[in-house]
Structures are given as C-alpha cells and as structure tokens.
Amino acid sequence: MRLFFALDIPGPLALDIATWREQQLPLLGRPVPAANFHITLAFLGEIPDSRLDALCQDVDAAAEKLAPAAFELQLDQVGYWPRPGIYWLGPASWPDSLEHLARKLGGIGAIHGHEKRREHFQAHVTLFRGCEAAPPAPALAPDFRLSCSEFLLMESRQGKRGVSYHPVAGWELGTGFNPA
C-alpha cells in the first residue's frame, strides 16, 4: 500500500481555501480537489501490508515521547516550486516540534519501506500540480487558521477519477497516541 503521514485539512476549511483559490488565482495546471487538501509530514511510498502493524507500533512508541502538543498553523504564504510544477499554500512558520515529528516519521517510514527521506521540510498544502509558470500573486493574501490536534497515516489510492486518500490510523497530539 502507498502510504504517507499527514495533517488533515478539515472539510469547512478546505472549502474556504478552494473558494479563495477560485476567486484569487487563475486556473493553473491541475487544481487539487478540496477533498484532497492535506499537509504531508512524511511520504513512505509502497509499504507491504504485512508491515503495517509494526509501523504503527513504532509510531505509537515515538508519539508518546515526541508528539507535540496541539498547535495552530496560520496558512498565510503561497509558493511555487518550478521543478515539480507545484503551487502551494502554507504557513510562514511552524513549531520546531512539528519538524521533529515529520523527521521522526520519515525515519520510521524508511525502516519499513524504501523511500529516501526528504531532508527539507516545508509545511504546505498543494493547490495546483503541473503548473508550468510562476503564477501571479493573489490580490487577497491568504490567511487561514488550521488547528492541528492529530496526525494521520494515509493510504493513497489511484482510481479512474484520480488519486484519493484514506486514513489508515491516527494519533492525537499532546496526549500521547490514540490509534484510530
């Protein structure tokens, strides 16, 4: 199964972001459906089903020690990465503890899978893919508040109508772990 760790963007906030995107940005490349908005903490890639329990146990153990207290992110910045052609929305800053968590989850993923770990963490919600040129700045700067109280292990499935994500397990922040 194709897995990644992520922060979820709740439905109402995702709709607000999609509305802002529609009003403030031209149609660039392929817009990501609002239902797919998320912030990736660590991408694991293909993991055999048989490794799932061990993976979750490792996260349980790490989350007890490492999961940061619940926190808020202010999504107030946009960015463009030319090489993957990604246009994104994200926070200008985030707690160090979130970065530590992302790194730890990437390390656990690397034990159970084979994906190379990413060194640089940039919290972001992908808004468009396949975006060939740098988009114009939005007239109305984004300023969305995201309350984060859990992180999720998500399965990514490729379907006829594109990719969809499905939560496999979740851990509460601040209070140790809580398997979904």
Q: Does 118 bind ligand ATP (CB under 6 A)?
A: yes
CB 179 within 8 A of CB 60: yes
The DSSP-derived string for 90-139 is: EES---HHHHHHHHHHHHHHHHHS-PPPPS-----EEEEES--SPPPPPS
- Determine, following the binding rule CB under 6 A, whether residue 35 of this chain makes contact with ligand ATP: no
Check binding of 122 to ligand ATP (CB under 6 A). no
Query: Quick one: tokens of 65?
Result: 């020690």
Cβ at position 42, least distance to ligand ATP in Å: 8
- For ligand ATP, give the closer residue by CB, 43 or 171: 43
Considering only residues 49 through 68, tell me which ones interact with ligand ATP, judged by CB under 6 A: none
Among 7, 9, 31, 40, binds ligand ATP (CB under 6 A): 40
Closest CA to 86 of 139, 138, 31: 31
What whole-number distance in Å separates Cα of residue 88 and Cα of residue 127?
Answer: 5
Query: Does 2 engage in binding with ligand ATP (CB under 6 A)?
Result: yes
Counting contacts by CB under 6 A, is residue 117 touching ligand ATP?
A: no
4 belongs to the binding site for ligand ATP (CB under 6 A): yes
The pair of three-digit structure tokens given for residue 15, joined into one six-digit string = 């709709």
Residues at the interface with ligand ATP (CB under 6 A): 2, 4, 40, 43, 118, 126, 129, 156, 163
